[in-house]
Chains A and B, each alone.
Chain A
Amino acid sequence: MSEVARRFFARAWLVLGYAFLYVPIVALVLYSFNDSSVPNVWHGFTLRWYGALASDDELLGGLWLSLKVAFVTACSSVVLGTLAAFALVRYRRFFGRTLFAGMVAAPLVMPEVIIGLSLLLMLVSAQRIFGVPERGMLTIWLGHLLLGLAYATVVVQARLSTLNVQLEEAAMDLGAHPWQVFHLVTLPLIAQALLSAWLLTFTLSLDDVVLSAFLSGPGATTMPLVIFSRARLGLNPTVNAVATLIVLVVSIGVLAASIIVARQERQRARDLAAAARA
């Protein structure tokens, strides 16, 4: 293959690949403005599905619960995930390390039906013995946290393993307490990873169907559960309207975050260059 043909082939493959990834999202957004209750035949522009959304108490109630669960899940996942990542990166040898590493990573691939079913049945047993916990927001959070912990650990672990340990050792030599070392040296260095772990676990929790279905109780219906029950029955334009709003919020959030990160990277590069000159 000539160089030109190869470059053309590479470009075509990438373009088609991205089209495959994005066309469904574009379709979802376009058809939210479709003036027809059958959302795959175009009948002209309307905003009425967004109006319907505003008075959709079931969906709005679900959204509020989902946001609460996602917030708590993201915060707790980052805390536990950072601890787990520290243990895995810094402590090469401790009792049960292999088991620990396996348990941290398993929820990344483990089918959610298994995690949901097993956690639910354990919680049911616990409720029979201790009387707690009641099924609801708390139990949904416990399930989401397992998933969030796994993802947060991966993100923080990746950053921690690239850190220069000598920075921490230097601080320690200069008399800093381990907590001060973490607070003053390590934390600022991994702050970016913590932020992306927080955002990732927040969106994962906001999106989860299967764990929530197993772990929710009466009156605790998250937004994905509402969407899923409607999507099962067929096409529903209000689902498209919700989807559009989510895509909008997520795109703005991710773009803003990556611009901030890129700016910080440039700033750091400039600082390093200045330090090298000085």
Chain B
Amino acid sequence: MSDDAERPAADRARAVRTRVLGGRTLVAGIPFVWLLVFFLLPFLVILKISVSEMDVAAVKDLVTWQNGRLAFDLHVGNYATLVTDDLYFLTYVASLKYAAVTTVLCLAIGYPFAYFMARARATVQPALLLLVMLPFWTSFLLRVYAWKGMLLQHGWAADLIEALGLDRALAAAGLIPGPGQLMNTPFSLVLGMTYTYLPFMILPLYSTLSKMDLRLLEAAADLGASAWVAFWTITVPLSRAGIVAGSMLVFIPCVGEYVIPELLGGPQTQMIGRTLWDEFFSNNDWPMACTVAVTMILLIIVPVAIFSRYRAEATERPA
């Protein structure tokens, strides 16, 4: 402190100038300011609109001058509707449910998949990895659309499922209304989401599993652990970062998914992303759409925080 005070003013000014205008500030500053303006500011805007009232054509101002006094016009009615209206509440619960089921399915299919990839011969691993990435590069929209054709009557998947008698089991479980009706059901919705998000689960899992030190497993075997015990006490805990990151990469976007419920879901499977869309595009109710968005953010903010912590752990840990 005293050092600073004694330093001549010109020196200090120069130090400040190089700090502010130096390359370092520009490198971090440009994307930082960009994100503040185009990512953070929009959230504040929808927060404001969610407590505003809608005029005929525009959203009313929150704060106005009336007779020389500052007047606040805060409406929390939208939030009250959201909490008291069963339809909204059930939609939130359904979104969380479908996202959770999808995450569990992706983990159940993806973990063994990533494990076997990581233990395959080193020479084939790049090809296996490329094959996982390739669908990711081809249009997501078109791959979801493909399921529509496959699940309708006489589609490939529909024929296979009926031949195996699986549709009766699905109907018995209440996932489809009856045998032969696969499309626009909870089943087709979860199938579509699992299919779409599976690579997002496999890739982080593969990257943690392939980095694992296999000597640990040898040591465990030398000490008498069976392969099964070694798997659960060594491999799974060491891949925790991959499990968490992958699960969040699947769960969070699924909660707000719009395209898949719209193309593969049905009237039964209303999800929150679709509700937001309908409020905005069909009902033109901007404040309500914003309220839905704000509450959706509240739902996912904890998972997002977990995700960024584990992502940081995975990328910033010295290799």
Chain A contacts to B: CB under 8 angstroms: 10-11, 13-14, 17-18, 20-25, 27-28, 31, 39-41, 80-81, 83-84, 86-87, 91, 94, 96, 100-115, 117-119, 121-122, 125, 128, 142, 145-146, 149, 153-154, 157-158, 161-162, 178-179, 199-200, 203, 206-207, 209-210, 214, 224, 227-228, 231-232, 235, 239-240, 242-243, 246-247, 250-251, 254, 258, 262
Whether A111 contacts B273 in the complex (CB less than 8 A), given A25-B138, A100-B28, comes out as yes
Contacts of B112 in A (CB 8 A): 13
- Among A113, A242, A243, which residue has its beta carbon within 8 angstroms of that of B273? A113
Q: Are B140 and A207 in contact (CB under 8 A)?
A: yes
Closest to A203 in B: B137
Q: Would you call B315 and A114 a contact (CB within 8 A)?
A: no
CB of A40 within 8 A of CB of B42, answer no
Q: B253–A109 contact, CB under 8 A?
A: yes
Q: CB distance B273 to A84 under 8 Å?
A: no
Q: Assess whether B289 is interfacial by the CB under 8 Å rule.
A: yes
B154 A28 Cβ-Cβ under 8 A: no
B260 CB to closest chain A CB (Å) equals 11
Contact call A87/B146, Cβ cutoff below 8 A? no
Q: Which chain B residues border A31 with CB–CB below 8 Å?
A: 149
Residues of A within 8 A of B315 (CB): 154, 157-158, 161
Given A91-B24, A118-B43, A118-B45, the answer on whether A210 and B289 have CB atoms closer than 8 Å is: no
Chain B residues whose C-beta falls within 8 Å of the C-beta of A142 in the assembled complex: 38
Q: Which residues of B contact A162 (CB under 8 A)?
A: 319
A73 to B39, CA, bound (A): 16
Contact with A along B255-266 (1 / 0, CB 8 A): 111110011000
Set of chain A residues within 8 Å of B141, measured between Cβ atoms: 207, 209, 224, 227-228, 231
Contact call B142/A87, Cβ cutoff below 8 A: no
Q: Does B89 contact A (CB under 8 A)?
A: no
Contact indicator B145/A243 (Cβ below 8 Å): yes
Contact with A along B127-144 (1 / 0, CB 8 A): 010111111011111110
- B304 lies within 8 A of A109 (CB): yes
Contact partners of B140 in chain A: CB under 8 A: 207
Report which residue of A28, A118, A125 has the largest number of chain B beta carbons within 10 angstroms of its beta carbon.
A118
Once A21-B132, A106-B304, A109-B253 are accepted as A-B contacts, the answer to whether A114 and B152 lie under 8 Å apart by CB is no
Q: Count chain A CB atoms within 10 A of each CB in B132, B157, B259 and give the residue with the most.
A: B259
Query: In the complex, what's the smallest C-beta–C-beta distance from B15 to chain A, in angstroms?
Result: 16
Most buried by A among B131, B139, B154: B139
A-contacting residues, B50-65, CB 8 Å: 58
CB pair A243 B142 closer than 8 Å: yes
Closest residue on chain A to residue B307 by CB atoms: A109
Determine if B46 is an interface residue (Cβ-Cβ < 8 Å). yes
The answer to the question of B35 belonging to the interface, with a C-beta cut-off of 8 Å to chain A, is yes
In whole angstroms, how far apart are the Cα atoms of A112 and B195 in the complex? 19
Q: State how many angstroms separate the Cβ of B255 from the closest Cβ of chain A.
A: 6
CA distance A11 to B121 in the complex (A): 12
With both chains docked as a complex, state the minimum distance between the C-beta of A235 and any C-beta of chain B, in angstroms.
Answer: 6
Contacting pair A25 B152 (CB below 8 A): no
The 9 closest A-B pairs by CB, nearest first: A111-B256, A118-B42, A87-B28, A24-B146, A122-B42, A84-B31, A109-B252, A10-B116, A243-B142
Indicate whether B27 reaches chain A with its CB closer than 8 angstroms. Answer: yes
Given contacts A23-B156, A250-B137, contact A117 B276 (CB under 8 A): yes
**Cβ contacts under 8 Å, B157 to chain A:** 23
Complex contact A235–B149 (CB within 8 A): yes
Report how many residues on chain B are interfacial, defined by Cβ distance under 8 Å. Answer: 88
- Chain A residue nearest to B256 (CB atoms) is A111
Compute how far the CA of A36 lies from the CA of B46 in the bound complex, rounded to whole angstroms.
47
| B284 interface residue (CB < 8 Å to A) | no
Contact of B116 among A13, A27, A40 (CB under 8 A): A13
Q: How far is the CB of A45 from chain B (nearest CB, A)?
A: 17
Given A40-B150, A81-B31, A149-B34, 14 further pairs, Cβ under 8 A: A13-B112, A24-B150, A100-B32, A110-B300, A111-B255, A112-B258, A117-B289, A121-B286, A122-B38, A149-B31, A161-B319, A203-B137, A207-B141, A227-B145
> Are A27 and B149 in contact, CB atoms less than 8 angstroms apart?
yes
A161 to B315, CA, bound (A): 8
B189 CB-CB contact with A under 8 Å: no
Do A14 and B116 contact each other (CB < 8 Å), given the known contacts A114-B293, A118-B42, A231-B141? yes
In the bound complex, residues from chain B placing their C-beta under 8 Å from that of A209 are: 141, 259
Contact call A246/B116, Cβ cutoff below 8 A: no
- Residue from the list B46, B130, B249, B289 in contact with A109, Cβ < 8 A: B249
Instruction: Tell me if B290 is interfacial: C-beta within 8 Å of chain A.
Output: yes
Query: Which of chain B's residues has its CB closest to A227's CB?
Result: B141
Identify the closest chain B residue to A103 (Cβ).
Answer: B35
CB distance from B300 to the nearest CB of A (A): 7
A22 touches B258 (CB 8 A): no
